[in-house]
Amino acid sequence: MTYTLYYSPGAASMAVHWLLIEAQIPFETRLIHIDHGAQHDPEYLRLNPAGRVPTLVVDGVPRHESAALLMLLAERHPAAGLAPAPGSPERAEWLELMIFMANTVLPAMRDWFYADEDGDPAGAQGVRALAERRIEQSWDRLDALLADGRHYLVGGKLSTADFLAVMLMRWSRNQPRKALSWPHLATYIVRLRALPSFIELNAREGLTDWSNPPS
């Protein structure tokens, strides 16, 4: 199995990058800095016609969509234990959470950040306001889920759902209500940010603006 991850620091590739580090899966990386417009380079567009990250080249074939890549990697590397096994009691909740974040939270984040670019700028304020409500409703849902004291979202152990959720929560750091404003999310975020794999991920991507204070 061979993997090459095309990523941009802090972007939607972050969750996939984190899983690869946590699971100790051998992989190569290629930096596609979206702030510099590298995602529109013709060579990259041949790999990903949508001009977005991540792209994960899996055994020579480019694959896309962060949630799908997380699920694919968990399936290809079951020994890492990053998804509930098919038929297990936790499997349905894991699938539901992955699709919820892919279908609800990710698009709302896209609308909040790119309302001026993706649609009519005249309507951007309304689009962003709706996106903000959807994001905050999502944090309500996840905060309520964590209220029972669980350390991770599904099955009492780290899974792809956590990689995706924490990446999305990081994106909220510049929004009016940060995910850290919710009490159970705050405890969860601090716990996940303390993982050695998350610390290594930030070091590899050169990110310094959303880490736990030194102990």
Residue 129 belongs to domain with CATH number: 1.20.1050.10
Please give the pLDDT value at position 215.
73
Please give the pLDDT value at position 144.
98
The angle that helices 91-100 and 66-76 make with each other, rounded to 10 degrees, is 150
Residues 132 and 173 in one domain: yes
As for how many domains the chain has, the answer is 2
What is the pLDDT tens value at each position of the chain, 215 positions in all?
899 999 999 999 999 999 999 999 999 999 999 888 889 999 999 999 999 999 999 999 999 999 999 999 999 999 999 999 999 999 999 999 999 999 999 999 999 998 877 777 878 899 999 999 999 999 999 999 999 999 999 999 999 999 999 999 999 999 999 999 999 999 999 999 999 999 999 999 999 999 999 87
Please give the pLDDT value at position 117.
77
Asked if residue 128 is part of any domain, the answer here is yes
Residues 190 and 98 in one domain: yes
Asked if residue 208 is part of any domain, the answer here is no
Asked if residue 62 is part of any domain, the answer here is yes
Residues 14 and 69 in one domain: yes
Residues 58 and 154 in one domain: no
Residues 165 and 108 in one domain: yes
Residues 142 and 74 in one domain: no
Please give the pLDDT value at position 118.
74
Residue-number span of the structural domain to which 76 is assigned: 3-80
Please give the pLDDT value at position 103.
97
Task: Among 80, 108, 140, identify where a domain stops.
Answer: 80
Residues 169 and 95 in one domain: yes
Residues 145 and 49 in one domain: no
- Specify the long-range contacts of residues 43-50, CB closer than 8 Å, at least 24 apart: 44/6, 47/6, 48/6
Asked if residue 52 is part of any domain, the answer here is yes
Asked if residue 200 is part of any domain, the answer here is no
Residues 72 and 152 in one domain: no
Please give the pLDDT value at position 72.
98
Residues 115 and 191 in one domain: yes
